[in-house]
A = this chain, B = another copy of it.
Amino acid sequence: MTRERPIGVFDSGIGGLTVVHALMRALPNERIVYFGDTARLPYGTKSSATIAGYAAQITEFLLKRDVKMLVVACNTMAAVALPVVTGLSPVPVVDVLDAGARAAAGVSRVGRVGVLATLTTVSSGAYERALRIHAPELHVVAKACPLFVPLVEEGWLDHPVTELTAQEYLRPVLAQGVDTLVLGCTHYPLLKPLLTRLVSDTTVLVDSAETTAARVAAVLQAQDLCRPPGDMPPAHEYHVTDVPQRFRAVGALCLGGPLPDVHLVRW
């Protein structure tokens, strides 16, 4: 039964678990197979050609595990390697970048949207392109925030250093009068409480983990692919390319609880 098959979710490492967390809340019956390329992370400062090669390898790994859908839970991969994934995949593909752009396009009242993301995502111009598909007149201000990922991985989610860094990154973006901010990297939802404090009450933060979960739910329903409720809660599995110790620690932050079933893939 296709509906019984799992959803494959992948990321350069750990951040994609914020998408898994949102999926678990939105679609509690679905089984998830997660792949995190922890030996080669972070992707956000690497070249497009290198990232495309990695994305192809991960796509093939998940397709062999008989997934019914692929979720690209890494903005950097979505920005520079989406055609590689869709080209290889016979099942539907949802990606965080398109999901975030779709959601953000309808939100801004003043027609000015800020995008916070990694260096590679910002350099690719992918958010500008995706936002303009849905709202051609939108003014987009993209800002690379390369310190946010290491700050999250240090666990400094509400620390004066993180606040000072965020003020520095936000200053030129807010100066352009945006009223909507896309959190364009799957680590950034963990900084949402801190970022909310630094922007005005009328600024909307678009969390691409939540928007991706909503998009996955919509596609599954449209294609009649939702897994029916069972007697047992669904079993999830996690595959990583480096020893899972660190993945478990930071992963527990993302999921709000421990990760039971983590396997090491040796490439």
Contact of A40 among B40, B168, B243 (CB under 8 A): B40
Say yes or no: B39 contacts A50, CB within 8 Å.
yes
Say yes or no: A154 contacts B147, CB within 8 Å.
yes
Q: What 0/1 readout, one digit per residue, does chain A (143-173) give for beta carbons within 8 Å of chain B?
A: 0001101110110000011001100100000
Q: Does A200 belong to the interface (CB within 8 Å)?
A: no
Please provide the chain A residues from 174 to 210 with a CB less than 8 Å away from any CB of chain B in the complex: none
Say yes or no: A153 contacts B164, CB within 8 Å.
no
Main SS of the interface on chain A? helix
Say yes or no: A243 contacts B165, CB within 8 Å.
no
Interface residues of A (CB under 8 A from B): 38-40, 45-47, 49-50, 146-147, 149-151, 153-154, 160-161, 164-165, 168, 242-243, 245-246
CA distance A146 to B152 in the complex (A): 11
Expressed in whole angstroms, the minimum distance between the Cβ of A11 and any Cβ of chain B is: 15
CA distance A50 to B165 in the complex (A): 32
Copies of this chain: 2
List the 6 closest pairs (A to B, CB-CB), nearest first: A47-B243, A150-B150, A161-B164, A161-B165, A39-B50, A47-B242
CA distance A39 to B37 in the complex (A): 13
Expressed in whole angstroms, the minimum distance between the Cβ of A82 and any Cβ of chain B is: 20
**Which single residue of chain B is at the shortest CB-CB distance from A145?**
B154
Say yes or no: B146 contacts A243, CB within 8 Å.
no
Q: In the complex, given contacts A47-B242, A147-B147, A161-B161, what are 18 additional A-B residue pairs having Cβ atoms less than 8 angstroms apart?
A: A38-B46, A39-B46, A39-B47, A39-B50, A40-B40, A46-B242, A47-B243, A47-B245, A49-B243, A50-B242, A50-B243, A146-B150, A146-B153, A147-B150, A150-B150, A161-B164, A161-B165, A161-B168
Expressed in whole angstroms, the minimum distance between the Cβ of A13 and any Cβ of chain B is: 9
A160 proximity list for chain B (CB < 8 A): 164
Expressed in whole angstroms, the minimum distance between the Cβ of A149 and any Cβ of chain B is: 8
Expressed in whole angstroms, the minimum distance between the Cβ of A167 and any Cβ of chain B is: 9
Say yes or no: A246 contacts B45, CB within 8 Å.
yes
CA distance A39 to B50 in the complex (A): 7
Expressed in whole angstroms, the minimum distance between the Cβ of A54 and any Cβ of chain B is: 9
